[in-house]
Amino acid sequence: MQTAKFKGKLIPYLLLSPTLAILLVFLYYPVVQTFRLSLYRVAFLGLKTQFVGMENFITLLHDPAYLNTVKSTAVITTVVVVGGLAVSLFIALLANRKIRGASIYRILLIWPYSLSPAVAGVIWLFMFSPGFGPFNYLSEKLVGTELNWLGQPALAITLIIIASIWKILGYNIVFYIAALQNLNTEVLEAASIDGANGWQRFWRVTFALISPMTFFLLITNITYSFFDLFGMIDIVTKGGPLNATNVMIYNLYRDGFEYYKTGMASAQSVILFLAVVALTIFQFRTSGQHVHYGG
């Protein structure tokens, strides 16, 4: 087997230089600036900065409004991740069956993920808008009154959770179907011969064998819940009502680009980054121990 060799030592670096330049300008430099500005009080448009050390972080950790934002983020993230994975696995099990037109059904299940967050947000905003939304029309016909999905905190949180699960559903289903189609059928047949019922075959065999995929989706869904809900929330609820859906990523955006609190926004970005890293490490050290590769 022959391997490609460059004639000069500088050619590989020249070929990589465009990518490295883009990463440096649009990724590494902003990350460094974010950590740096989190230690400063920054005036409008960054015209003046004052070093304040950890003051921004201390202010945030003593701010009831920000702590409520952290709580909302934790609740929404937990329900979206757990509920989304459970629903996705259930649908994937159904879609994996050998039935006529299965490929068409799978494509229809996947397409929501291809929509941009803005388009998905507009769709859900239209469906639940007061006055002319089809779901409000149905609720009025069925129970005699419209449900104010965008005006009541509990309903708004429920709407964001359902819409967010729907948006990530296709992504999860694709990976779950791939995992299910690569299962060792001999193990399932052996379990059936040994007298295992349907639930036992699923929980002790199927779920155990697809645990690597579940663990991968657990990490990606946590990241999605922390960062990618921004578009849906911005279009549908704007963080309301009463800041019920004002999650950490959206609060960060508002402080940085609406109120021009650059230092506070940078501190929130660092907190969010550290929270995701800590949660990911925790998942690897706990859930990762129950992941079984091979078999």
* pTM for the whole structure: 0.87
Q: Comparing 39-48, 185-194, 232-241, 282-291, which segment has the lowest mean pLDDT?
A: 282-291
* Residue 290 banded pLDDT, cuts 50, 70, 90: low
What is residue 153's predicted lDDT score, i.e. its pLDDT?
A: 92
CA dist., res. 268 & res. 104, Å (int): 44
Percentage of the chain beyond pLDDT 70 is: 94
* Residue 293 banded pLDDT, cuts 50, 70, 90: low
SS3 content of the chain, % helix, strand, coil (to 5): 75, 0, 25
Backbone angles phi, psi at 96, to 5 degrees: -80, -10
Whether the pLDDT of residue 71 is over 80: the answer is yes
* 235-246 average pLDDT score: 91
CA dist., res. 74 & res. 161, Å (int): 12
CA dist., res. 253 & res. 18, Å (int): 29
What is residue 67's predicted lDDT score, i.e. its pLDDT?
A: 95
59-290 under CATH 3.40.228.10, yes or no: no
131-136 long-range contacts, CB within 8 A, separation 24+: none
| Cβ 215 vs Cβ 134: under 8 Å | no
Whether the pLDDT of residue 288 is over 70: the answer is no
Q: Which residues contact 139 (CB under 8 A, 6 or more apart)?
A: 145, 146, 147
Hey, where are the domains in the chain?
59-290
* 39-58 average pLDDT score: 86
| Cβ 232 vs Cβ 241: under 8 Å | no
